[in-house]
Amino acid sequence: MNLPLFLARGVAKGGSQSISRTIIGIAVVAVAISMATMVLASALISGFKTEISVKIFGFWGHVHITEENAANDIMLTTEYPISTEQDFYPSLEELGPITYRDFEDPFGTNSTEERTTQGGIRNIQPFILLPGIVSVFQEGEQLADTEPLILKGIDQDFAWEDFAQYMVEGDALEVVKDSTSRGILISNSTSRRLQIGVGDRIDFVYFSGLREEKSRAFRVQGIYKTGLEEYDSKFAIVDIKQLRRLLNWRDDEVGGFEVILDDIDDLNAFANYIHYDVLPQHLYADSIRNKLRELFNWLDIQDYNGIIILILVVLVAVINMMTALLILILERTNMIGTLKALGQDNWSIRKIFLYYAGFIVIVGLLLGNFVGLGLAWAQKTFGIVKLDEESYYLAVAPIKLEWLTILGLNLGTFVITLAFLVLPSYLVTQIDPVKAIRFK
């Protein structure tokens, strides 16, 4: 029989009648609050990063293929068109999982470990980006000042299933091979600024030289809102054939290709694979993460914020548990003295209190998980906490529960807390059995 565990259960059952009941209750609540905070923090940070990433990739794709001269600035693609008559288009979207080597070695040596991607390539779609200015006219009268806008031309193989979730009004563009659509999708912010809606006319002017300008009239077919205000206010979506005509390009010329993957975690692997193993030498493949480095760096900072939160809340739980354990030991001084007089060694007695502390931590963790997961469910279901969308790119605080992360938080908190409790348990070794038996 495990005597320390047996005695710890007895101490736990008798604790409800002792003067330490309040202290133990506070310790349980402290662990529960810490655990609930960690569950919510991890779910919010994970949800926030996922939602923002999905919005970015939904608008831009995962990997961009452009002419090498336009690799550093996607807006230069209008100066360096590429042909759609490529060996990889559209066959690249049939590519499944690939095996690759991880070359991210800071010392420059190649890894010998081969890895396999989680998924493959889901879609490849051509695009053209063309900057210009827009204005709104009704019955020959200009209704608003001109302002800059970038048109993004899309083809019939555009991944509408990714973008459809952002449509708030109107319909998607009907881009077909044998005709050219005059429809345009504008963002909700552009709609408000220009005071126009579905069905209204919008005029776009492109300056192809110092004095030459070309214009095109569009009809607003739909309004979208990704929440990424920095991009929503700058971009509109049109039929790619309209932009070819403005640029005097051939029917097979585009600014580049967007590649959409099955799994975001495969981003770097496929960007490197496409660049080195698929493309001809004059083309360049780069992940959108590198092109929008500042935004993704900002998202990465959220991980550091999460780590700081986790450290602080675990520290609170540890301090409360150490205090509770010291009080438990002092309260049971007479019992400790008796056990020592009966021949029990210090480590066996210390294990009694460590087992007891483990019971308290487990109760706190269970309660914390119940509260944290309950609040996470309520937020995900009802969207209780709202956000300023212009500042955070989201209207509602997002939740994404990662069960392996939650399991790791529980195990980590349990192990770390008990490890720190070994220190105050040394107080047992300082108790003299003769004096302890007399202690009242």
Summarised one tens digit per residue, pLDDT across range 10-30 is 656 555 445 567 778 888 898
60 vs 149, higher pLDDT? 149
Of 67, 91, 46, nearest to 300 (Cα)? 46
The C-alpha atoms of residue 380 and residue 189 are separated, in whole angstroms, by 26
Summarised one tens digit per residue, pLDDT across range 165-181 is 889 999 989 898 889 99
Bridge partners of 214, per DSSP, are 206
What is the pLDDT, as a whole number, of residue 8? Answer: 61
What is the pLDDT, as a whole number, of residue 125? Answer: 94
Lowest-pLDDT range of 1-10, 210-219, 357-366: 1-10
What is the pLDDT, as a whole number, of residue 370? Answer: 96
259 vs 328, higher pLDDT? 259
Local confidence band at 138 (pLDDT 50, 70, 90 cut-offs): low
What b/e readout covers 371-398, taking b as 16+ CB neighbours within 10 angstroms?
bbbebbeebbeeeeeebeeeebbbebbb
Q: What are phi and psi of 401, to 5 degrees?
A: -85, 120
Give me the domains of the chain, ranges plus CATH numbers: 3-54+296-438 (no CATH), 121-261 (2.40.70)
Q: What are phi and psi of 60, to 5 degrees?
A: -110, -15
| Cβ atoms 329, 429 nearer than 8 A | no
CA-CA distances (angstroms) from residue 194 to 99, 135, 145? 50, 8, 8
Q: Which residues contact 376 (CB under 8 A, 6 or more apart)?
A: 39, 40, 43, 399, 401
* 306 pLDDT higher than 60: yes
What is the pLDDT, as a whole number, of residue 136? Answer: 84
| Cβ atoms 98, 114 nearer than 8 A | no
The C-alpha atoms of residue 111 and residue 89 are separated, in whole angstroms, by 31
Which of 52-61, 73-82, 406-415 shows the highest mean pLDDT?
Answer: 406-415
The C-alpha atoms of residue 84 and residue 304 are separated, in whole angstroms, by 43
The C-alpha atoms of residue 260 and residue 283 are separated, in whole angstroms, by 18
- Token couple for 22: 């309040």
Range list of H helices, 288-332: 288-291, 293-331
Calculate Rg over the CA atoms of the chain.
31
What b/e readout covers 74-107, taking b as 16+ CB neighbours within 10 angstroms?
beebbeebbeeebebbeebbebeebebeeeeeee
Bridge partners of 167, per DSSP, are 224
For residue 54, the SS3 value is: helix
The C-alpha atoms of residue 249 and residue 258 are separated, in whole angstroms, by 19
Of 152, 116, 299, nearest to 224 (Cα)? 152
Q: The pTM is what? A: 0.77
Whose tokens are 């979208």? That residue is 224
CA-CA distances (angstroms) from residue 206 to 62, 175, 210, 216, 219? 28, 22, 11, 8, 17
What is the pLDDT, as a whole number, of residue 141? Answer: 60
For residue 51, the SS3 value is: helix
What is the pLDDT, as a whole number, of residue 309? Answer: 86
What is the pLDDT, as a whole number, of residue 106? Answer: 47
As separate numbers, helices (DSSP H) first and strands (DSSP E) second, the chain gives 14, 16
